[in-house]
């Protein structure tokens, strides 16, 4: 590492024996994709960009709302007022902290149609998502293309994190053959979430990320870490490949069901009374024309990134790729009906 300014910026990190100059050089050439830039994602993104990753790609489907500010540390009230997509707001704040890092913002929902495109060029994938369908999709891409990823989640005061290295460790399907049944697991809607557990789980996740990126894989944890900050309990559980079963369909390359399109398209959003609706086929909306059409039916707000529409107790946020977040319901059928009524079938 020859550049004195680089050495100065990361001097304290380089002094740490676990990183050193060689590790920092590796970190500075790394490519990380973060899927979801909400609570966990915003903290993880900040840590990694300040640590000097070469490129961070942020894939997020949502926009900044006031309720995010309690725990999503990258965002501000100005982002709320401007209806900024989280990927864009995150990119702007991250570049203000470290302009030497390349930050790419992608406003999209990760789905079977685009997952390989968005993830395949990564050295590492970080989980900042809020649902298991997307996690199983990441797991499919990870195992199929040999890309490490780090699972992380938190709710209430409890959180978990686990490193998944294809061919070496258990994968998410080894840990859980299938997602929990709807209604059986606590969510942000039912249990809430406190800021400290978000910061702690993101720190666990990014510490493992720095080990991998710095070439210190021998120091990577082989366990599922779980923490409850309210009770101050910490548990490490080693997960065997196949979860103790003889085989894992994903690890053995027998089944990549989520990449093949398994799972429902409408998604109830964690921590919000809202449903995301996807168009029946890939599309590109003319938001200006749609705004003109909807202005006769209700209140329309148009930004360079999205369109917000409110009428008759309905509030929809519509993106150029045809996606819409329908607020005021957790019923996918109702959300689809409102989408069809105002946007089209």
Determine the structural domain holding residue 97 and report its residue range. 4-244
Does 233 share its domain with 333? no
The whole-number pLDDT of residue 122 equals: 97
How distant, in Å, are the alpha carbons of 114, 323, 324, 338 from that of 285? Answer: 18, 9, 11, 17
Q: Same domain, yes or no, for 221 and 84? A: yes
Domain membership flag for residue 68: yes
- Distance from C-alpha of 95 to C-alpha of 75, rounded to nearest angstrom: 13
pTM for the whole thing?
A: 0.85
- Domains contained in the chain, number: 2
Asked if 226 and 123 sit in the same domain, the reply is: yes
Query: Within 13 Å of residue 198, how many CA atoms lie on the same side as its CB?
Result: 25
Does residue 313 share a domain with residue 240? no
Task: Give the pLDDT score at 39.
Answer: 94
The label of the residue with tokens 């997509």 reads 85
pLDDT, position 246: 66
**pLDDT less than 70: residues of the chain:** 1-3, 5, 181-187, 189-190, 245-246, 262-266, 271, 280-282, 345
- Same domain flag for 236 and 272: no
- The whole-number pLDDT of residue 178 equals 83
The predicted pLDDT at position 238 comes to 92
What stretch of H or E contains 234?
Answer: strand 233-238
Asked, for residue 256, whether it belongs to a domain, the answer is no
Q: In terms of domains, do 195 and 240 share one?
A: yes
CB atoms within 10 A of CB 341: 14
pLDDT digits (tens, 9 = 90+) for 126-178: 999 988 889 999 999 999 999 999 999 999 999 999 999 999 999 999 999 88
Decide which of 212, 244, 276 is a domain's last residue: 244
DSSP, collapsed to helix, strand or coil, labels residue 50 as helix
**Three-state SS for 161?**
strand
């Amino acid at each position: 590492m020859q550049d004195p300014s680089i050495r100065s910026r990361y001097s304290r990190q380089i002094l740490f024996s676990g990183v050193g100059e060689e590790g920092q050089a590796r970190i500075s050439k790394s490519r990380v994709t973060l899927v979801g830039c909400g609570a966990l994602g915003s903290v993880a993104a900040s840590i990694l960009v300040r640590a000097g990753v070469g490129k961070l790609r942020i894939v997020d489907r949502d926009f900044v709302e006031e309720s995010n500010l309690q725990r999503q540390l990258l965002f501000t009230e100005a982002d709320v007022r401007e209806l900024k997509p989280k990927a864009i707001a995150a990119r702007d704040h991250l570049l203000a902290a470290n302009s030497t890092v390349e930050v790419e913002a992608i406003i999209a929902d990760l789905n079977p149609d685009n997952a390989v495109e968005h993830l395949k060029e990564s050295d590492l994938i970080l989980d900042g998502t809020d649902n298991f369908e997307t996690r199983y999709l990441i797991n499919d891409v990870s195992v199929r293309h040999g890309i490490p990823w780090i699972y992380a989640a938190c709710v209430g005061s409890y959180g978990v994190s686990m490193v998944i290295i294809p061919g070496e460790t258990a994968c998410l399907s080894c840990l859980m053959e299938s997602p929990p049944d709807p209604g059986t697991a606590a969510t942000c809607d039912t249990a809430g979430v406190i800021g400290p557990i978000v910061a702690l789980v993101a720190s666990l996740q990014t510490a493992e990320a720095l080990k991998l990126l710095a070439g210190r894989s021998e120091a990577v944890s082989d366990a599922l870490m779980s923490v409850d900050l309210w009770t101050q309990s910490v548990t490490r559980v080693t997960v065997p490949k196949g979860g103790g079963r003889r085989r894992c369909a994903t690890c053995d390359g027998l089944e990549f069901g989520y990449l093949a399109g398994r799972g429902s398209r409408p998604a109830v959003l964690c921590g919000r009374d809202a449903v995301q609706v996807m168009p029946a086929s890939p599309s590109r909306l003319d938001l200006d024309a749609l705004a003109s059409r909807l202005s006769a039916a209700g209140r329309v707000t148009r930004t360079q990134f999205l369109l917000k529409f409110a009428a008759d107790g309905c509030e929809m946020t519509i993106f150029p790729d045809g996606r819409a977040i329908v607020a005021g319901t957790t019923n996918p059928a109702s959300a689809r009906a409102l989408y069809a009524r105002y946007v089209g079938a």
